[in-house]
Structure 1
Amino acid sequence: MSTGELLNVEPLELKFVFELKKQISCSLQLLNKTENHVAFKVKTTNPKKYCVRPNTGVVLPRSTCDVTVTMQAQKEAPADMQCKDKFLLQSVVAPAGVAPKDITPEMFSKQPGRVVEECKLRVIYLPPPQPPSPVLEEPDEGASPKVSFDSGNLNGTEVSRQYVDSDDKSSEARSLITKLVEEKNAAFQQCNKIRQEMELLTREINKSQGGGVSIIVIIIIGLIGLLLGYLLKN
């Protein structure tokens, strides 16, 4: 803020957020510290580049006035974003009741007995704001998690491998059970066949020995019974 005898000017730096091919504006606030009417005029070193509204005016006693400075759209950015343009705000005590249309350039000429305050303003270019970084969205509650099968996603590969392993083990177990059942059935059929042959042999021996039963035959029949019992349990 510039604190003069007539006006306070804020800010002392005209800051433009520079963007190519776009008009950019900033504002000044003028505060009249006196009980008098104060006329002001705004000049610049580059009038074709800027538009000032109002560029002349009157600030009433103990009042404020806003001035808008607009930079025309630029086709290229300056080197290192440095700007050499400057502004000069002149202010002088004006007669009571003076209107903005009554202000003339002669009112700001320096003459004996007339105080003309001057405030110099710098121009600063600011880089445009950077876009926000993208934020990864979290999955909604209750939604099924997505499994990616890209080359860099190990989770998807592990899940797929687990399913494959489980299926292989189940197939092996079913094959083993089927094989054991088939072997058991074949052994059972073989035992039945042996038992039938032994019964036939026993009848023939009984006939030849007059109804007596050989001890060897009894032992063989007992062994066959034990074998059948073992097979049935397993």
Structure 2
Amino acid sequence: MSKAEAILKIEPENELRFRGPFKEPVSVVMKLSNNVDKKVCFKVKTTAPKRYCVKPTTGVIGPKEAVTILVTLQPFDPNDPNEKGKHKFQVLSVLAPEGEFNIETLWKETSLEINDWKLKCVLETPDEAGTAAASAAPAVAVTNSASAPALPVAAPVAAPVVKTEEKTSKDASMQKVSNLELELRKASDEITRLREELSSATRENIQLKEEGLRLRRSNVSSGTESAGFKPEQPPLMYRQPGQDSVATVSSPNVLYIVAALLLGIIIAKLFF
């Protein structure tokens, strides 16, 4: 579709440029701006989903608002012939329907007018960047020599160099922003992992406390039963009236009763 009909403004417009080396993830930022006064749904697709990590891949942009898409190229070997294929990205956009809708199944509805925009991926290794700079230098020299008789012609030659420097500076700034966002995402993932570990440790601590409380109650119950046990007392010995001695209780049985009472008191003090 033409740029005049686009409901989204996509930056950059034509290509995503990734600068090597590619031994670690390399990220670039793609900005989507809503040009209309209605909500717009978007979806980002790629021909190599295993090679790129896109966040977010779908979403809704409010009227006259913008969203930033982080595209991360996973590490790979640039000398691998299987990696020479040209990767592309496709940005789908459609006006959000009224009421509730499912953004995942929205793209399958044939009644909606879905707009798409394609961008190609450019992978630049340090060697390729140096070769491009070296090949550009002689071209400038030839142009200057050809226009040597007319000195005023040399003035326009400096314009592309300045523009190239500005573009390089802009790309470097975007690279720094993408690296910062990548670090922030890693920090957020680390915080989430620590919170999950803390939650797991808290649950284990609660389980241990409940188990300890259950064991205490079990010990208290067994101690109470021991304290409440009273052995059967032997019958008192009876003597004829007039005798000086009185009925007595067997000494071993008394000792058993006293020991049981002391044990119950000790257990109660330990657990209450």
Q: Tell me the TM-score normalized by structure 1.
A: 0.48
Q: Tell me the TM-score normalized by structure 2.
A: 0.41
Rg (Cα) greater in structure: 1
Query: Counting strand residues as a fraction of each chain, which structure ranks higher?
Result: 1
Query: Counting helix residues as a fraction of each chain, which structure ranks higher?
Result: 2
